[in-house]
Chain A
Amino acid sequence: MVLRPTGERQVHLVQGAGGPLGGDALSLDVDVCAGAELRVRSAGATLVQAGTEDGPARWATTIRVRAAGRIDWAPEPTIVSDGASLESWLRIELAGDATAAVREVVVLGRHGQRGGRYRGAVNVTVGGRALLTQTTLLDGADPALAGPGGSAGARAVGTFLLVGAPRRPSGCGERSGVRWAWSALAGPGDLLTAVGEPGAVGAVLEAVSPG
């Protein structure tokens, strides 16, 4: 994994050779200085595959944004292939007047697969107070987690978090392949969640957070 500057305020995450694989442990620390803005994108989807090592792939990201700073985080989808397992941690600490736009998409399996296991913990604080603490469990091979008490057969989950946006978004809807809803959080943020087929989930997120 390398970081490549691709603009004045932008970096791309670029995957080296394939991966991550089971047993891999990656960590990324991002520090956005006061008044600064950073856009983070990725060169392509992240494909998590079962490795020869036991245990899940682990990926921990910590983002700190100082006063009046801004993080715009929107890597390409993470695909968890059959037999693979990913544990991901995303911790975002925002100063009271910092702003954020954070997009994440997880896809269970490549085309024709039911997908592996994903455990994603998201923890967002604003001015030291908890805004969002959410751990998502997905497993295409686990009948309970893929059933009506889990993802109900959906292969993709996308989220888009806005903190400190001038206009608070709202709305919800459902159409073939996707169900989605905005929700106001108990603090200065809003969360869009979309659940469904990968293409339809991507389209919902693309409509509100293009590129």
Chain B
Amino acid sequence: MAGTLTAGLLLLADSRLPSGGHGHSGGVEALVERGLIATTADLEVFLDGRLRTSGTVPAAAAAAACGLAAHPDREPEPDWASWDEAVSARTPSAALRAASRAQGAALLRTVTLAWPGPAVEALRALGGVHHPLVLGVAAAAAGGTPLDAAGLALHHMIGGACTAAVRLLGLDPLAVAAVAARAGRRAEAVARTAGDAAAAAVADADPALLPGESSPLHDVLAQLHDSSEATLFAS
């Protein structure tokens, strides 16, 4: 089910859309500080691992939110709090939950004005929801499919990490763009897997069916980063 690249989806993919993402490195800063990412090659291996260990949760949550929001006449209305709780249970790092909620709030401010609708209002009423849910609801409002929403979540994971790596390490932006392009192709399979899991979860109205892959080192470094004072990025 290939989506159509609407103007709204292009905006949602654009890092210039006010969404708070620029303040987060996706874990890259903590790895750079410890010498675990130093080169463009390191960045490429990092993205490959990160997509597979912690890409599926945001991708599936975004796809599920898109699927739930795509049918505003759905009865009963989606229990958004239970989907938000499911993302929290899959994000053991308190620092990463806070980062996800902060970016969700920032994106929701933009989305409220750009694509108002009942699902957006439901998320606003809930308050402080996780970023992938806001992204998924926005993708639905912009005419996208759940697979588009999953792809957007991974696109921003890749883009945020690459931008941070260029800023922190002074890597060649052209070489990093090539890394991002290759990572984007690998992300397509991750998005499809996440989209399938999300479709099953939405069909059963059961957020427990969302995948739960995570990365222990990412979680530990996020907590260490959060406790450190001299950092450029919030996470």
Interface residues of A (CB under 8 A from B): 121, 123, 129-137, 143-145, 147-152, 154, 157, 159, 172-174, 179-187, 191, 193-195
* Bound complex: CA A129 to CA B86 (Å): 9
Q: How many A-B residue pairs have CB under 8 A?
A: 121
Residues of A within 8 A of B210 (CB): 133
Residues of A within 8 A of B85 (CB): 129-130, 186
Contact (Cβ within 8 A) A172 B31: no
Contact (Cβ within 8 A) B217 A133: no
Specify which of B48, B93, B227 is in contact with A147 (CB 8 Å cutoff): B48
* Bound complex: CA A187 to CA B94 (Å): 11
B51 at the interface (CB under 8 A from A): yes
Specify which of A148, A184, A186 is in contact with B49 (CB 8 Å cutoff): A148
Per-residue CB contact flags for chain B residues 32-66 toward chain A (1 = under 8 Å, else 0) read 00001100001001111111110000000000000
SS of B interface (majority): helix
Contact (Cβ within 8 A) A145 B90: no
Residues of A within 8 A of B91 (CB): 186
Q: Other CB < 8 Å A-B pairs besides A134-B92, A151-B215, 4 of them?
A: A130-B89, A150-B215, A172-B224, A181-B220
Contact (Cβ within 8 A) A136 B220: no
Residues of B within 8 A of A129 (CB): 85
Residues of A within 8 A of B97 (CB): 186
Residues of B within 8 A of A137 (CB): 52-53, 213
**A154 — nearest CB in chain B belongs to which residue?**
B217
Tell me, rounded to whole Å, the shortest Cβ–Cβ distance linking B28 to chain A.
9
Per-residue CB contact flags for chain B residues 211-222 toward chain A (1 = under 8 Å, else 0) read 111111111110
Residues of A within 8 A of B220 (CB): 172, 179-181, 193-195
Residues of B within 8 A of A174 (CB): 224
Residues of A within 8 A of B223 (CB): 172, 181-183
- Known interface pairs A148-B31, A150-B53, A174-B224. Does A143 touch B45 (Cβ–Cβ under 8 Å)? yes
Per-residue CB contact flags for chain B residues 200-235 toward chain A (1 = under 8 Å, else 0) read 000000011011111111111101100100000000
